[in-house]
Structure 1
Amino acid sequence: MLKITFLGAGSTVFAKNVLGDCMLVPALEGFEFALYDIDEQRLRDSENMLRNLQENLHKNIKIKAYLNRKEALTGAKYVINAIQVGGYRPSTVIDFEIPKKYGLRQTIADTVGIGGIFRNLRTIPVMLDFAKDMEEVCPDALFLNYTNPMAVLTGVMNRFTAIQTVGLCHSVQVCTKELFQSLGMDHEGIQEKVAGINHMAWLLEVKRNGEDLYPEIKRRARDKQKVKHHDMVRFELMEKFGYYVTESSEHNAEYHPYFIKSRYPELIEKYNIPLDEYPRRCENQIKNWETMREDLVHNKALEHVRSKEYGSRIIEAIETNIPFKFGGNVLNTGRLISNLPEKACVEVPCIADRSGITPTYVGELPEQLAALNRTNINTQLLTIEAAMTHKRDYIYQAAMLDPHTAAELSLDDIVLLCDELIEAHGDWLPRFKKNEIFAAL
């Protein structure tokens, strides 16, 4: 069976981007696009939207919505994952509001930090359920994971299941283009090399005709730092550590111990850091959804232009055997990045073709960049230990090793915060037991 299954298909805008892209690939004519979501209304919305798009594009594909996950997965060749466990309410609100009581502020809270830890803990069991179904009904399918926290979830799938998984983000493909646009530089014809971990990969090389463009980038960035702009954290990291990071300043502000500090509130203003940015976006999306829904779901004239997402291009490369290079998240097996742990999930250049996904060897990162990556990897690996053992101690230790959390809170307050978050999330989390280290607390 030629079948692409989309888990979390109620994400209508994202389903349009990824499956709309797939509709534009001639090699995917005749495929079934199988849609699954636990929210039946949102599922039907996406089904209707894709049927309108199919009709306008005159594509020979089958679109089918499923209420049974295993049926949706049966026989799939590719599985696209875009779920959010717990949603904005209650889970994301909990992840923001309870840490605020302890003086711990966040911007996005979906990758590391206290919000990222708890998003992982409620999502990993669902991902393992997906894998169990896939091992039964589509064991050879390629799992394209778009769900955050990217590194942990992709790492769990590759370490603890038999499902071939690659994690896909949006930041690598737009990193240098948006950087050059912001600095008024010409992006055409550049050569780049990007590697690290998800949301903290590094622009290691950027050249044109053999000329290193970093000196000019840094000169213009220093000039731009004299006035407020949206990318001040990344420019500061580049100034202090030598390289530009792929993901946005609002994300990176909470991945490091330097920027969001209750003792130095002036840093928020200095670096233009948007605290509570993700809740603000969610509220705006909720407020505007009915208008967006009308434009998407019931628009008989709906059109689509291929997006920047990697998914359709990877699938196209495998179907046609025309190689496609992309930044993918994979296990650091064989030390693709030699000064990062082998259990880590790294973001490196990968090649897709008929043989599947082949990650490329990067070698050593500059030591200061590897050191920054390891501060986040520590928390990621301990979060995985917590999820796989159900030991509460590992949750505490993951939070204690998180750079931002550790910079703000005492060890005792971190334990109290984690306990309160576990209690608040209730049935969205598995049961976690204390062992000998924290049993008396």
Structure 2
Amino acid sequence: MSKITFLGAGSTIFAKNVLGDCMLTPSIQGFEFALYDIDYKRLKESESMLQNLKESLGSDVKVKAYTDRKEALKGASYVVNAIQVGGYKPSTVIDFDIPKKYGLRQTIADTVGIGGIFRSLRTIPVMLDFAKDIEEVCPDALFLNYTNPMSTLTGAMLRYTNVKTVGLCHSVQVAVPELFEALNMSDDGVKWKISGINHMAWLLEVSKDGKDLYPEIKRRAREKQQEKHSDMVRFELMDKFGYYVTESSEHNAEYHPYFIKSQYPELIDRFNIPLDEYPRRCVEQIENWEKMRDEVVHSKNLSHERSHEYASYIIDAIETDKPFRLHGNVLNTGGLISNLPEKAVVEVPCLVDRNGVTPCHVGELPEQLAALNRTNINTQLMTIQAAMSGKREHIYQAAMLDPHTSSELSMDDIVSLCDDLIEAHGPWLPNFKSENMLV
């Protein structure tokens, strides 16, 4: 029996989306869905939900929850990773509250920035533990990573383990439809080309019937900027750098040094930037889950429609040898994007078939876009080095290289902030000892 192992299966709604998609995929019938999570209560809730969904969809997969991770992984063909180390409390709260004491504000803090750095440092050691088990009990498995920070985690797996890994996000799939909807344009028949890095990939070309649509897109975007809306940062970046970026404005506001600035507080209102958005979103999700838990977990009539998440399409393409195209996060080996570093993780078109996931060569990005990508790649590479070395000085350097952090704080304040975050996270960062501090 083929097997899909889901790590972090206590994420019940996401497990429903990914594994519900798989239940609707003919080539995946008969598979075992092995569920694993360190939270036993959430694990059993997801098992109950998936058993009910299996019955209502008429799927013949086997759903089984495991409390032993190695047993859950044993013999798996595919491993889906959707963990969050440290959770909302205490770790996410720490990632926001301590920087705020230094005057450093954030919106999402899950990719780069000071929050992204520390989320990476908490998560990479756990992922490397996963890799040891995978190398032992399912060495041929394909690891489908959905966990953020996407670039650092995927990079650590690809550079320091033998696990076949691809990072998956849905920002590319939704970028063009959301842009066209915002500008009251139809995306029917539109062709587009996107490449870059995760959460900062670029709409390089967009056309219909051979006509370049960028002039009309930019005209409408400039008009829309005259009134407040939820995507003002992305439209401003497109105006100044010439291209639309895939991830949302609340994300991109903290990837660059231009928008969240204590000396220019008026920019927050001007660009409608939602500070502390992720903690607020976490609270809302927790409250909503409490209201809907019984309905989702115990419903005998649970339904599902196939989502735009890539996992089921990847598995289907490998199982059937029917090619599927996606945008995956992979190492820039051989210069897939020739003006970005080879150690970087890039988000590029990939072809999936029985041979697995094969990235496509892109070539050069426009130089201004590659430059913006490199500012985030610098921090990503230094963060991976910090995780692997266990040296505080590498954490400091990662933070000093971050565009937003370095534009707001002095070097001394960055060192002090990192020390405070290490102390506050305590057991979540076991690799960083006091003797590794700069003196």
TM-score for the superposition, normalised by structure 2? 0.99
Match of 1:216 in 2: 216
1:286-297 correspondence to structure 2 within 5 Å: 286-297=286-297
CA distance in 2, matches of 1:358, 1:106: 35
Deviations 1:342-364 (A, max 9, x none): 00000000011000000000000
Instruction: Kindly state the Cα deviation for residue 287 of structure 1 after the two structures are TM-superposed.
Output: 1.6
Matched with 1:380 is 380
State how far apart, in whole Å, the 2-side matches of 1:165 and 1:354 are: 15
- Whichever residue aligns with residue 325 of structure 1, its letter is R
Q: How far did residue 169 of structure 1 move?
A: 0.3
Distance 2:55 2:80 in 1: 23
State the 1:290 CA deviation. 1.7
Identity of aligned residues (%): 75
8 Å Cα contact 1:106-1:275 kept in structure 2: yes
Q: Which residue of 2 aligns with 1:88?
A: 88
Amino acid at match of 2:15: A
Runs of 4+ in 1 over 3 A off after TM superposition: 433-436
User: C-alpha displacement at 1:435, in angstroms?
Assistant: 8.1
The answer to whether the 8 Å contact 1:392/1:435 transfers is no
8 Å contact from structure 1 (residues 391, 435) kept in 2: no
Aligned counterparts of 1:118 and 1:142: Cα–Cα separation in 2: 26
Q: Distance in 2 between matches of 1:289 and 1:169?
A: 23
Alignment-derived partner of residue 285 in structure 2: 285
Taking the TM superposition and a 5 Å limit, the aligned residue runs for 1:33-432 are: 33-432=33-432
SS for the counterpart of 2:394 is helix
Instruction: State the aligned residue count.
Output: 439
Residue identity opposite 1:172 in structure 2: V
- What is the distance in 2 between the residues matched to 1:138 and 1:70? 9
Structure-2 residue corresponding to 1:11: 11
Contact 2:325 2:351 in 1 (8 A): yes
1:30 is paired with a residue whose SS is coil
Q: Matched residues in 1 for 2:433 and 2:338: separation? A: 35
Q: How far did residue 167 of structure 1 move?
A: 0.2
Task: Structure 1 unaligned segments of length 5 or more: list them.
Answer: none
1:215-267 Cα distance to aligned partner (Å, 9 max, x none): 00000000000000000000000000000000000000000000000000000
Letter in 1 for 2:346: V
Tell me whether 369-378 or 291-300 shows the greater mean CA deviation.
Answer: 291-300
| Cα distance in 2 for residues equivalent to 1:371 and 1:285 | 36
> In the alignment, residue 95 of structure 2 is paired with which amino acid?
D
Q: Do the aligned residues in 2 keep the contact of 1:391 with 1:434 (CA within 8 Å)?
A: no
Shift of 1:289: 1.5
Q: CA offset at residue 152 of structure 1? A: 0.4
Q: CA deviation at 1:434?
A: 7.1
Instruction: Provide, for residues 130-155 of structure 1, a one-character-per-residue CA deviation record: whole Å limited to 9, x for no partner.
Output: 00000000000000000000000000
Q: What is the deviation of 1:432? A: 2.1
* Structure 1 residue 295 displacement after superposition: 2.1
- How far off is 1:439 after superposition? 3.0
Q: Contact between 1:255 and 1:403, CA under 8 Å: does it hold in 2?
A: yes
Q: CA RMSD in A?
A: 0.9
SS in 1 for 2:41: helix
Contact 2:103 2:262 in 1 (8 A): yes
Q: Residue 393 of structure 1 contacts residue 434 of structure 1 at CA under 8 Å; is this kept in 2?
A: no
What is the DSSP-based 3-state SS (H/G/I as helix, E as strand, rest coil) of the residue aligned with 2:203?
Answer: strand
Q: Distance in 1 between matches of 2:358 and 2:438?
A: 45
Take 1:339 and 1:433, find their aligned partners in 2: how far apart are those partners? 37
The TM-score normalised by the length of structure 1 is 0.99
Check conservation: 2:392, 2:438, Cα contact below 8 A: no
Partner of 1:166, secondary structure, is strand
